[in-house]
Amino acid sequence: MTASVLDRFHPQVATWFAEVFAAPTAVQEGAWRTISAGENALVVAPTGSGKTLAAFLWSLNSLVERAGQQALPIDGSTRSTHGGVKVLYISPLKALGVDVENNLRAPLGGIARVAQRMGLDTPDISVGVRSGDTPQAERNRQVRKPPDILITTPESLYLMLTSKAAGILKTVDTVIVDEIHALAGTKRGV
């Protein structure tokens, strides 16, 4: 019998997925096999094929596995115990970033409920959005206590990289660029 790609996930993540979806889509299956092996992935598929979850679920899994571990302070500061941003999501549109933030609530809430049912610690995974509309007070808070997942636009990322906020990105281990075709070949592209 062939092992399911879900066997690679933490039990509370795999259980949540199995309770919500019949099975992974072909896109998710392929992406998770590649990503869980530590390789980079370019996920190209039609709308509605599960690309966003394909990109995010392994990152959520990694955050769940790290939950409860003491993070090392960033920038050598002994005051901060937060490890900084782990997942950086870049979207060409602020509205898409807001949608992604809203869409992350279902898996994060579902994984937390499964953890409670299993008698496990509930992972505290934070999500932040940073765009031109983000108030300065929120930007300052993100520098003091960075979210685990940061959703931003290329322009806001550029501004972060050229300011003291760049320090919160030293711990990023996953970068998700959505709608990359909208960025390549424009002044916003690489």
- At 33-42, the pLDDT tens digits run 999 999 999 8
Average pLDDT (75-86) is 55
What is the mean predicted confidence (pLDDT) over 20-24? 93
What residues make up the domain containing 169? Answer: 5-182
CA dihedral (45, 58, 105, 173) in degrees, to 10, reads -100
* DSSP count for the chain of H helices, then E strands: 6, 4
pLDDT at site 140: 93
Residue located via tokens 């807001």: 98
Q: Indicate the SS3 state at residue 27.
A: helix
156 vs 98, higher pLDDT: 156
Mean pLDDT of the chain: 85
pLDDT attached to residue 73 = 43
As for how many domains the chain has, the answer is 1
- Give the whole-number percent of the chain exceeding pLDDT 70: 86
Instruction: Check residue 13 and give its pLDDT.
Output: 96
**Which H, E and C letters describe 48-81, residue by residue?**
CCCHHHHHHHHHHHHHHHHCCCCCCCHHHCCCCC
DSSP-derived 3-state class of residue 91: coil
Per-residue pLDDT, averaged over 5-25, amounts to 94
pLDDT (mean) for 116-132: 91
- 144 part of a folded domain: yes
pLDDT score for 76? 39
Tell me how far apart the alpha carbons of residues 45 and 21 are, in angstroms, rounded to a whole number: 18
Decide if 32 is inside a domain: yes
Does residue 187 lie in a domain region? no
Whether 55 maps to a domain, the answer reads yes
Is the residue at 11 inside a domain?
Answer: yes
17 inside domain: yes
Q: How far apart (Å, rounded) are the C-alpha atoms in residues 132 and 153?
A: 9
Low-confidence winner among 74-78, 126-130, 156-160, 162-166 (lowest mean pLDDT): 74-78
Q: Does residue 142 fall inside a structural domain?
A: yes
123 found inside a domain = yes
Place of tokens 């765009």: 131
Residue 187 or 72, more confident: 187
181-to-42, 87, 90, 178, 188 alpha-carbon distances in Å: 12, 21, 12, 8, 11
pLDDT, position 50: 86
Q: Looking at the predicted structure, is the pLDDT value of residue 26 above 50? A: yes
Supply φ then ψ for residue 29, to 5 degrees: -55, -50
For residue 15, give the 3-state DSSP assignment.
helix
We report the CATH number of the domain holding residue 125 as: 3.40.50.300
Phi first, then psi, for residue 127 (nearest 5°) are -125, 135
Residue 19 confidence (pLDDT) above 80: yes
pLDDT of res. 88: 97
Residue 95: closest CA among 179, 2, 5, 29 = 179
DSSP H/E element including 164: none
* More reliable by pLDDT, 186 or 164: 164
